[in-house]
Amino acid sequence: MTEKTVSEAIAYRRSVRVYDPTKSIDTAVVKQCVQQATIAPTSSNLQLWEFYHVTDPSAKAKIAEACFNQAAAKTALQFVIPVVRKDLWKSRVKANLAFLNAQFEAQGKRDSKREKMATNYYTKIIPTLYTDYFGILGFFKGIFAYITGLSKPMYRQVSASDLKVVAHKSTALAAQNFMISMAAHGYDTCPMEGFDSKRVKDILGLPKGAMINMIISCGIRGEGGIYGPQFRVPFNDVYFEK
Domain of residue 121 covers 89-161
Give the pLDDT of residue 112. 81
**Total domains in the fold of the chain:** 2
Last residue of a domain, one of 128, 161, 194: 161
Looking at residue 141, what is its pLDDT? 86
- Give residue 54's pLDDT: 98
Instruction: Please check whether residue 185 lies inside any domain of the structure.
Output: yes
Cβ-in-10-Å burial (0-12, 13-18, 19+) of 78 comes to buried
pLDDT tens by residue, 192-207: 999 999 999 999 999 9
Q: Tell me how far apart the 2 most distant CA atoms of the chain are, in Å.
A: 63
**Is there a single domain that holds both residue 115 and residue 216?**
no
Verify that 99 and 82 share a domain, yes or no: no
Answer with the one of 126, 161, 196 that is the final residue of a domain. 161
Measured in degrees and rounded to the nearest 5, phi and psi for residue 133 equal -130, 100
Co-location of 93 and 62 in the same domain = no
What's the predicted TM-score (pTM) here? Answer: 0.94
Task: Give dist(CA 78, CA 169) in Å, integer.
Answer: 24
> Each residue of 124-151: pLDDT tens digit?
999 999 998 877 888 888 888 888 999 9
Q: Provide the phi-psi class of 234: left if phi over 0, else alpha when psi is between -120 and 50, else beta.
A: beta
How many Cβ atoms sit within 10 Å of the Cβ of residue 51? 20
Instruction: Return the CATH number at 189.
Output: 3.40.109.10
Share of the chain above pLDDT 90, in %: 84
Q: If you compute the radius of gyration of the chain from its CA atoms, what whole number of angstroms results?
A: 21
**Residue 96 belongs to a domain:** yes
Instruction: Assess if residue 1 is contained within a domain.
Output: no
pLDDT of residue 158: 85
**Chosen domain end from 161, 195, 214:** 161
* Residue ranges in the chain whose pLDDT is less than 70: none
